[in-house]
């Protein structure tokens, strides 16, 4: 029941119609018995600062921020968490005394999703495909979680070199090794944890994949695609055909929401509760 004590959370973005976040947060609120409602807010670019200020004035408990505002929103915040500041992107605003504090639960969410599947980053030899916004954030996560060597393969070498320079400086070691995507044959002869962080293969271009060569996939013990539409990407199929384990990005989406919810409500969501939400997401997105 919505009443005088109902708290509001929401999503700032443009567009917002296809978001799955209301399913995540309204399901969690119901499951946990919290009097909280979560709604999407379509915000125009020139109104972003006003939207954050207005949310604050309206006593809004917390916000998510999505494309295209994850970086731009940072200037409207009272404080930014250290990992989010490194990454340069915020997807969660938490109400504090002086304004909102920004977090990046996309990355802590990816980490928790991987842990829930039993995948470790610490000391792992990894390949990271891409050097755009998403891959750059994963590179910071790898540094923060003490990955072994991470070969960052990108079509444009400059971008991978730039990310490597920043991340290696931030963590004081050579964690990211930049490489040109087409030079993948030069990778060491061993098995890797591979994170697919490019936009290639995203619906509706479901047949696309960054690397086709079966020889590459024989070097993959686990493949993690950040994409979840389609539910099984071409990358995932190629990993499985070569005998590896493959995962999509839907659990990353789940856990970025779970962690945001925990930050807003000062609670811990159990694995059982998270699984319940995951099933709702699958039904809602018609992912089977």
Helices and strands (DSSP H and E) totals, the chain: 10, 12
| Distance in Å, CB of 133 to ligand ATR, minimum | 3
Exposure of 64 in the CB half-sphere (CA atoms within 13 A): 26
Instruction: Point out the catalytic residue in the list 5, 31, 53, 70.
Output: 70
CB distance 218 to 242 below 8 Å = yes
Residue 266 CA to residue 239 CA, distance in Å, equals: 39
Stretch that binds ligand ATR, among 6-14, 129-137, 247-255, 279-287 (CB under 6 A): 129-137
| Distance in Å, CB of 89 to ligand ATR, minimum | 9
Residue among 101 and 251 whose Cβ is closer to ligand ATR? 251
Looking up tokens 């991470």, which residue turns up?
A: 150
104 in contact with ligand ATR (CB under 6 A) = no
H or E element in which residue 272 lies: helix 271-284
161 in contact with ligand ATR (CB under 6 A) = no
Verify whether residue 70 is a known catalytic residue. Answer: yes
β partners of residue 245: 222
155 in contact with ligand ATR (CB under 6 A) = yes
| Distance in Å, CB of 219 to ligand ATR, minimum | 18
135 in contact with ligand ATR (CB under 6 A) = yes
Report DSSP state, residue 189: S
Q: Give the number of other CB atoms < 10 A from CB of residue 118.
A: 8
Residue 136 CA to residue 160 CA, distance in Å, equals: 8
Stretch that binds ligand ATR, among 22-30, 48-56, 94-102, 153-161 (CB under 6 A): 153-161
Size of the site for ligand ATR (CB under 6 A): 14
Report DSSP state, residue 147: B
Residue among 71 and 275 whose Cβ is closer to ligand ATR? 71
| Distance in Å, CB of 180 to ligand ATR, minimum | 10
Residue 43 CA to residue 32 CA, distance in Å, equals: 29
Contacting residues toward ligand ATR, per CB under 6 A: 130-135, 154-156, 159, 198-200, 210
Active site residues: 70
């Amino acid at each position: 029941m919505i009443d005088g004590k109902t708290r509001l959370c929401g999503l700032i973005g443009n567009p917002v119609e296809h978001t799955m976040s209301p399913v995540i947060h309204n399901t969690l609120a119901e499951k946990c018995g919290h009097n909280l409602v979560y709604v999407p807010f379509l915000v125009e670019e020139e109104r972003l600062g006003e939207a954050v200020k207005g949310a604050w004035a309206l006593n809004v408990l917390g916000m998510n921020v999505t494309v295209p505002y994850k970086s731009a929103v940072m200037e409207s915040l009272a404080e930014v968490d250290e990992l989010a500041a490194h990454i340069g992107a915020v997807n969660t605003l938490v109400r504090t005394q002086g304004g909102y504090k920004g977090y990046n639960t996309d990355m802590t969410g990816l980490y928790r999703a991987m842990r829930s599947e039993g995948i470790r980053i610490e000391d792992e030899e990894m390949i990271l495909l891409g050097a755009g916004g998403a891959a750059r954030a994963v590179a910071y996560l790898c540094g923060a979680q003490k990955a072994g060597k991470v070969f960052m393969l990108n079509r444009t070498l400059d971008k991978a070199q730039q990310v490597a320079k920043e991340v290696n400086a931030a963590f004081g070691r050579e964690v990211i090794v930049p490489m040109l995507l087409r030079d993948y044959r030069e990778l060491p002869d061993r098995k890797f944890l591979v994170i697919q962080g490019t936009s290639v293969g995203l619906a509706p271009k479901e047949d696309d994949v960054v690397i086709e060569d079966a020889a590459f996939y024989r070097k993959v013990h686990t493949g993690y695609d950040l994409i979840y539409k389609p539910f099984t990407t071409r990358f995932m199929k190629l990993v499985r055909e070569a005998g590896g384990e493959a995962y999509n990005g839907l659990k990353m989406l789940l856990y970025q929401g779970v962690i945001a919810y925990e930050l807003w409500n000062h609670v811990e969501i159990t694995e059982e509760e998270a699984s319940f939400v995951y099933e709702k997401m699958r039904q809602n997105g018609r992912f089977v």
